Structure 1
Amino acid sequence: MTGQQRGLVSLTELERSSVVANNTMNRERGLAGVNSYARELGVDPLAWLSDRSPGARSWLDLCSGEGRALREAASALPPDAVLTGVDLVGPLVPLPTPPAMEEITASVSTWAPTRPYDLITCVHGLHYVGDQLGLLTRAASWLTEDGLLLAHFDPESIRWADGGGTAGRAVVAELRATGFAYDSRRHLLTLQGARLTTATTALPFTYMGADPTAGPNYTGQPAVGSHYSRTITDTAE
C-alpha cells in the first residue's frame, strides 16, 4: 500500500494474523436463544424473512463463521429463499449444504455478490476487517430497494492514520449523513433501502492500513484497528 503508515499492515498480512485467521467470534451462534443473531441484532432474521413476500427472502451473512444461523433458517424458510454465507475461514468441519444455502470461503474485503439481497448482516465481523468503511459502502450497494443491512460497529476501532487518536465521532456523523442509523448501546449500524452505487454512500475517508495489535474492543476480544486519513477533495473551479 502506497504511503502506508509504520506499524500498519496490508490486507494479506492482516488476514494471516492470528487475530483474524483464528477468531471464533461467530462460530457457534444460532438464530435464537442466548447466543444468537436475534439477541445480538435485536431482529430475528427468520421472522423478518418469513414476513417477506415470495421472491424477496434473500439473506447475505458476512463473516458467517460456521453458518449455523443460515442453516437453521434454510430448514425453516420456503424453497424460494436464497441464503449466502461468506467467511474467510469457512466451516471448520464441512457439512452438506441445504439447497437454499450457499457457503463461500473468501475475504469479505474483496468478494462481491452477483445479485442484491433483502437482508445483509455482519454480526461482530467488522471487528476483524481492515477497511471497515469500504466494506460498509460496498454492502450498502448490495441491498434490494427495501432491504435491510445490520452490522456491529465499534467507532473506537476507527483511528486517524497520523496518530491523532480515534476518528469514531467523525465517522459516525458521516455514516448518519449517508443514511445509516447507529445504536451506541448495541454498537449496531442499520441501513434501510438500497444505495444503488458505492458513490451514494461515499465517505470522506481514505483507508491507510490496519493494526492487528490494537487489543480488545468492547466485546472483550482482540480486534483490528482501522486507520484512515481524511479524503482531500479538489474544490477548485
Structure 2
Amino acid sequence: MTTPHLLPAHELELTSVVANNTMNRERGLAGVNSYARELGLDPVAHLTSRSATPSWLDLCSGEGRALREARSRLPAGAVLTGVDLVGPLAPASLPDGPELLTASVAHWSPYRTYDLITCVHGLHYVGDQLGLLARAASWLAADGLLIAHLDPASLRVADGAPAGRAALAALRAAGFRYSGRHHRLSLHGPRTVRLPFRYLGADPAAGPNYTGQPAVASHYEPVPVAAAGAPQ
C-alpha cells in the first residue's frame, strides 16, 4: 500500500476539491434538494419547538440559502449563522438576515452556543473531521442538536488503512449516534469530547465518496485518550 501525500489545513484548503464554489450553493430549506430531506427533520419546526429565540449554526453553508429562507419563518431574535470557506457569492442579505461568514471551519469558533448545529455534506471537505466534531460538541446549547453527514470510509490511518470502524466506536462512546443508511451523525446536548486519535493530515486525491463527488480522506494516528489532541 502506497502511503498517500498528506496536506496540512492551509494547503488542503487551496485545493480544487476543498475550495469548491459549487458545493452546497443552492440547497434550500425544504423540497427535493433540501436541508429537511438531508437532515431528516424540518430545521424550523425543530427550532421553534424548543426555544422562543432559537439559534442555528450551519457549517459549510455555501450561499446560506436555507438560513435565508428560515429567517422569515423564525421569530424575532432568532440567531442564524453560516460559516463557509468560499462564502456566499452573492452580496449578503438584508441587515436582519442571517450572519454569513467566510472562514475556515478548521479554525473558526463561535462566541455563543446554538440550539441546532448542522453540517450538510460539509465534512467530506474538511481535513480534521473528528477534530471539528469534537469542537462542535461544545458549541451546543443545553438541549441542542448536532447533525452532520459523515463517511466512515474517509477516516484512515497513516498508510491509508481504514479507521472508520474504530472512529465510529469512539464517537458512539462519546455520545454520538450514527445512521449508516443515511450517513448521518447526531449528538444531543453539549459535552467535552476527546477522541483517541491524533490528526496527521488529509489526502485530497482520495477520489469520490458515497455521494459520487471527489472528497477528502482524513488520516489519524490512534493514541490513548489522555494524549488525544496533544500538540505534536
Q: Classify the TM-score, shorter chain.
A: over 0.9
- Unaligned ranges ≥5, structure 2: 228-232
Tell me which residue corresponds to 2:124: 127
**Cα displacement string for residues 158-191 of structure 1 (whole angstroms, at most 9, x for unaligned residues):** 011134x110000000000000000000000000
| One-letter code aligned to 2:124 | H
Tell me which residue corresponds to 1:209: 201
Tell me which residue corresponds to 2:162: 166
1:16 to 9, 14, 19: 14
Equivalent residues in 2 for 1:66-215, closer than 5 Å? 66-163=63-160, 165-195=161-191, 200-215=192-207
CA contact (8 A) 1:81 1:100 kept: no
| One-letter code aligned to 1:193 | G
* 1:220 pairs with 2:212: yes
Query: How big is the shift at 1:232?
Result: 4.0
Tell me which residue corresponds to 2:230: none
Query: How big is the shift at 1:234?
Result: 7.3
Greater shift, 46-55 or 223-232, is seen at: 46-55
1:28 to 10, 23, 26: 26
Change (3 A) 1:234 1:58: closer
Whole-Å separation in 2 of the counterparts to 1:226 and 1:129: 8
Q: CA RMSD in A?
A: 1.5
Tell me which residue corresponds to 1:43: 41
- Unaligned ranges ≥5, structure 1: none
CA contact (8 A) 2:68 2:97 kept: no
Classify the secondary structure of the residue corresponding to 1:13.
helix
Classify the secondary structure of the residue corresponding to 1:201.
coil
What is the TM-score normalised by the length of structure 1?
Answer: 0.91
What is the TM-score normalised by the length of structure 2?
Answer: 0.93
Query: How big is the shift at 1:23?
Result: 4.8
Query: How big is the shift at 1:89?
Result: 0.5
**Cα displacement string for residues 6-52 of structure 1 (whole angstroms, at most 9, x for unaligned residues):** 61011111000000112523110000000000000101101111222
| One-letter code aligned to 2:17 | V
CA contact (8 A) 1:79 1:100 kept: no
Classify the secondary structure of the residue corresponding to 2:23.
coil
Whole-Å separation in 2 of the counterparts to 1:173 and 1:30: 33
Tell me which residue corresponds to 2:222: 230
| One-letter code aligned to 1:102 | E
Greater shift, 94-103 or 184-193, is seen at: 94-103
Greater shift, 16-25 or 209-218, is seen at: 16-25
Could you tell me the percent identity over the aligned residues? Answer: 69
Change (3 A) 1:160 1:94: same
